[in-house]
Copies of this chain bind each other. A is one copy, B any other.
């Protein structure tokens, strides 16, 4: 950030009075520009004993598989965001049943909120950001071709929960790649 979004003057990184962290503050109008983590909302959409995965048609991770998920928009709920992303990426209608996972990824300031839900019909097809959409049984998850570590972690836990049919809310943190074993 270089310029004030309100008045166009330059901003300086400094700790505002009464604050504890450096912020971008406008030199002229004194607006403090806070920057905060973004929510990625997504869905484990079930049809029978399989779930919906999408193969990405966009970078990053073009060609790899992911749960339908994307940035939550202003003016919607987390649940609406998860349903919308499933509609956009997999052209599928889902009815959510529960929150399933909340994963913080502090090194990129993102929080993933993944819900479980049921597909209303088995009708789906690739949306604009997907090359391919398909149903996978946990025994067949494409572990070597998953797009993001947060998806690997979510699907690993889902595959572990599935046999018992009990799905607690999972909380966790995704470390930077250099702090973990390579996936």
List chain A positions with a Cβ less than 8 A from chain B. Answer: 1-8, 10-11, 18, 21, 33-39, 71-80, 99, 102, 104, 106-107, 109, 111, 113, 128, 169, 171, 173
Q: Shortest Cβ distance from A7 into chain B, in angstroms? A: 7
Residues in B whose Cβ lies below 8 Å from that of A33: 5
Residues in B whose Cβ lies below 8 Å from that of A7: 2-3
Given A99-B169, A169-B99, are A74 and B35 also a contact pair (CB < 8 Å)? yes
Cβ-defined contact, B99 with A171, below 8 A = yes
Cβ-defined contact, A75 with B3, below 8 A = no
Given A71-B34, A73-B21, A99-B169, are A111 and B78 also a contact pair (CB < 8 Å)? yes
Cβ-defined contact, B5 with A73, below 8 A = no
Cβ-defined contact, B39 with A74, below 8 A = no
Q: Shortest Cβ distance from A107 into chain B, in angstroms? A: 7
Cβ-defined contact, A109 with B34, below 8 A = no
Residues in B whose Cβ lies below 8 Å from that of A77: 104, 106, 173
Q: Shortest Cβ distance from A76 into chain B, in angstroms? A: 6
- Measured in the bound complex, the distance between the Cα atoms of B79 and A37 in whole Å is 13
Cβ-defined contact, A73 with B36, below 8 A = yes
Q: Shortest Cβ distance from A43 into chain B, in angstroms? A: 14
Cβ-defined contact, B18 with A8, below 8 A = no
Question: Which one, B5, B35, B76, contacts A1 given CB within 8 A?
Answer: B5
Cβ-defined contact, B3 with A106, below 8 A = no
